[in-house]
């Protein structure tokens, strides 16, 4: 079966911020990458991005054979698709554009090649009708920015996506160290962006209402609940909040206060005044620190946290193996 | 001025889960602790907890002179208050109980001694009327569980709390390595519990609606946005999401999608069926893992993350000093 052919060669369609980060990740995982983008100067920008990401990827661990020299670039879509085993599409977020693109890709690619879209905003059910012959091989494979540092990939099928496509996409992403989730219904924002929206709504409300400064709400999150969310998910944390009684006990205790808090949470309007409050408070927090300094800070800590969790998982796995 | 007397001796009122964790933290910070609790067996449980927390506190760094032998216990409230420099109150969450307790504390303590409440549920404006003589020295000093591992302390004054009390409480908590935030209006859940409530509402909704399993929503959070919230707050992350354009540019791009997502976020009812869905999905996620195993996992990673961020802050501080 051609379906069992190992995935060795990835075609990246669209090499903006997300596409370039995917390219760097795939290269670091020892895969071949052929990238395509019609924008002038795209190849230079892509190669610069990959080079700039390489030290971080090296720290996180390169796969055998990983090399920046496994990257090729062509502005010709058809050439990029030749002998591709898997496509990661990162085109503009417009339904008409994507439908047309998927029509072209569908004609160029043999039917076993999965076309995965990084789209955060357009459901696959609206994109895949463009792929007339084989819409079943189209799926959302949505990363979290920046994909080369953040392991999450959200997998969502459209109405015509096959179960096999979802299974194979999940296996592939997992094989290269991604943490996958399967979203069982198409929802605006999939999962992760909805969680961000839910949190930002209250954060922004509290800042705009002068309950707390941007600096202080950032402290409250990143030295409080955020610390825990950096190491474990909400549901398992709820389970542990119940002590020996687990989730059942936790919901008995938390259910009442939680329902009461829900009634008081903010529901702000995105007015210019509202945005102005956020902007002013962020600038007071940032002070003289540059974007570059803050990015370095964020990425150094992100890499450190991913390393910490990977090491811990290896330790746990070796303890388990020793006990068996 | 007696107000400038250094805080060396902490009285802990109530030695349940939160009080015991505070006691361990204060001891690790080299302070003397006198604890009081009327419950039978309270002293034994407290000493056992402190001993169990000591290895983690040792990893995070003991202050000079830190010792479990600096802990004394008395069931006599008046004795516990004698020569206390600061009181951390962790009594039952009942207004009548706390008002009466604050009346007693207010009579027992000289006016410069701050009485800080760990209350998550009762605003200080409702508690401090009990402290007839000196309500201005009463303040919320709300930790995040477990206080000996999580650095956040939320400081909230009531209607009668003095600015000086807030300033001194902030200085004290900061001096022992806590990350403080000042909440400028009394709100149900202060800040951190509101952020948790906002996130849990959407997490629980998505699980109860079968959009995603508990296991997968935990992956989405803790390997996606949660990773970033473990290292930086929402507002600074928004600033960086804007690239060179910062928060202004980010809000231009994010404002529309965010407002659209807000319209679709869930608003579930806390029914028994709803809770049952959460419980079943959590048990499927947990499998055969025990509460103890998961607690160890959470705490090992939490300690590692706090160590990582402390190390990074030291590196950044020494680079800054070298550049000056």
**φ and ψ at B164, to 5 degrees?**
-65, -40
> Do the Cβ atoms of A301 and B294 come within 8 Å?
no
Distance from the B77 Cα atom to the nearest Cα atom in chain A, whole angstroms: 29
> Do the Cβ atoms of B228 and A198 come within 8 Å?
no
Q: Is A166 exposed, middle or buried (0-12, 13-18, 19+ CB in 10 A)?
A: buried
> Do the Cβ atoms of A231 and B295 come within 8 Å?
no
Q: How many CB pairs under 8 A join A and B?
A: 371
**Residue A304 pLDDT:** 97
**Residue B315 pLDDT:** 85
Whole-number percent of chain A with pLDDT over 70? 98
Q: Which residues of A touch B229 (CB under 8 A)?
A: 199, 221-222, 225-226, 229-230
> Do the Cβ atoms of A211 and B183 come within 8 Å?
yes
Question: Can you give the C-alpha Rg of chain A in angstroms?
Answer: 22
Q: Return the C-alpha torsion angle A49, A52, A55, A56, nearest 10.
A: -60
pLDDT interval class at A91 (50, 70, 90) = very high
Distance from the B110 Cα atom to the nearest Cα atom in chain A, whole angstroms: 31
Which residues, 6+ apart, have CB-to-CB distance to B206 below 8 Å? A187, A191, A194, B212, B217, B266
- The tens digit of pLDDT for each residue in A191-214 reads 999 999 999 999 999 999 999 999
Strands B114-117 and B86-89 come out as: parallel
Residues of chain B with pLDDT under 50: 1-2
**Residue B4 pLDDT:** 66
* Interface probe with A: pick from B170, B225, B269, most Cβ of A within 10 Å: B225
> Do the Cβ atoms of B229 and A234 come within 8 Å?
no
- The tens digit of pLDDT for each residue in B231-275 reads 999 999 999 998 899 999 999 988 889 999 999 999 999 999 999
Q: Which residues of B touch A229 (CB under 8 A)?
A: 199, 221-222, 225-226, 229-230
Mapping DSSP onto H, E and C, the string for chain B reads CHHHCCCCEEEEECCCHHHHHHHHHHHHCCCEEEEECCCCCHHHHHHHHHHHHHHHHHHHCCCCCCCHHHEEECCCHHHHHCCCCEEEECCCCCHHHHHHHHHHHHHHCCCCCEEEECCCCCCHHHHHHHCCCCHHHEEEEEECCCCCCCCEEEEEECCCCCHHHHHHHHHHHHHCCCEEEEECCCCCCCCHHHHHHHHHHHHHHHHHCCCCCHHHHHHHHHCCHHHHHCCCCHHHHHHHHCHHHHHHHHHHHHHHHHHHHHHHCCCCCCCHHHHHHHHHHHHHHHCCCCHHHHHHHHHHHHHHHHHHHHHHHHHHHHHHHHHC
> Do the Cβ atoms of B223 and A179 come within 8 Å?
yes
pTM given for the model: 0.95
Q: Which residues of B touch A203 (CB under 8 A)?
A: 195, 234-235
pLDDT interval class at A28 (50, 70, 90) = very high
> Do the Cβ atoms of B312 and A306 come within 8 Å?
no
**Residue A4 pLDDT:** 65
ipTM over 0.90: yes
> Do the Cβ atoms of B279 and A248 come within 8 Å?
yes
**Residue B62 pLDDT:** 97
Structure tokens at A57: 């990827």
Say if residue A274's pLDDT is above 90.
yes
Angle at B132 between CA B193 and CA B163, to 5 degrees: 55
- The tens digit of pLDDT for each residue in A112-168 reads 999 999 999 899 999 999 999 999 999 999 999 899 999 999 999 999 999 999 999
Say if residue A2's pLDDT is above 60.
no
Q: Which residues of A touch B232 (CB under 8 A)?
A: 218, 222, 294, 297-298, 301
Mapping DSSP onto H, E and C, the string for A120-178 reads CCCCHHHHHHHCCCCHHHEEEEEECCCCCCCCEEEEEECCCCCHHHHHHHHHHHHHCCC
**Residue B213 pLDDT:** 98
**From the list B192, B202, B262, which residue is nearest A220 (CB)?**
B192
Which residues, 6+ apart, have CB-to-CB distance to A324 below 8 Å? none
**Residue A1 pLDDT:** 37
Say if residue A3's pLDDT is above 80.
no
Q: Which residues of B touch A123 (CB under 8 A)?
A: none
> Do the Cβ atoms of B189 and A222 come within 8 Å?
no
Which residues, 6+ apart, have CB-to-CB distance to B263 below 8 Å? none
**Residue A164 pLDDT:** 98
């Amino acid at each position: 079966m051609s379906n069992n052919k190992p995935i060795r060669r990835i075609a990246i369609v669209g090499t903006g911020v997300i596409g370039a980060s995917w390219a760097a990740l795939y290269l670091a995982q020892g895969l071949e990458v052929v990238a395509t983008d019609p924008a002038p100067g795209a190849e230079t920008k892509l190669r610069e991005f990959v080079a700039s990401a390489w030290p971080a990827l090296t720290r996180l661990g390169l796969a055998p054979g990983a090399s920046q020299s496994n990257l090729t670039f062509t502005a010709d879509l058809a050439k990029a698709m030749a002998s591709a085993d898997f496509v990661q599409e990162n085109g503009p977020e417009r339904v008409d554009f994507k439908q047309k693109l998927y029509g072209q890709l569908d004609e160029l690619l043999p039917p076993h090649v999965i076309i995965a879209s990084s789209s955060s905003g357009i459901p696959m059910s609206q994109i895949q009708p463009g792929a007339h012959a084989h819409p079943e091989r189209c799926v959302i494979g949505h990363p979290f920015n920046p994909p080369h540092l953040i392991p999450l990939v959200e997998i969502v099928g459209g109405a015509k996506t096959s179960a096999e496509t979802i299974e194979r996409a999940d296996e592939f992403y997992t094989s290269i160290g991604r943490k996958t989730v399967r979203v069982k219904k198409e929802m605006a924002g999939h999962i992760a962006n909805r969680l961000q929206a839910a949190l930002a709504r209250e954060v922004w409300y509290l800042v705009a209402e002068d309950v707390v400064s941007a600096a202080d709400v950032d402290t409250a999150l990143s030295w409080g609940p955020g610390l825990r969310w950096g190491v474990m998910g909400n549901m398992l944390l709820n389970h542990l909040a119940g002590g020996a009684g687990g989730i059942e006990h936790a919901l008995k205790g938390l259910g009442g206060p939680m329902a009461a808090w829900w009634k008081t949470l903010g529901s702000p309007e995105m007015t210019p005044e509202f945005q102005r409050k956020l902007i002013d408070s962020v600038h007071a927090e940032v002070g003289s620190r540059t974007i570059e300094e803050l990015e370095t800070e964020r990425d150094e800590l992100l890499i450190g946290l991913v390393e910490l969790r990977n090491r811990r998982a290896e330790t746990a796995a070796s303890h388990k193996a020793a006990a068996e």
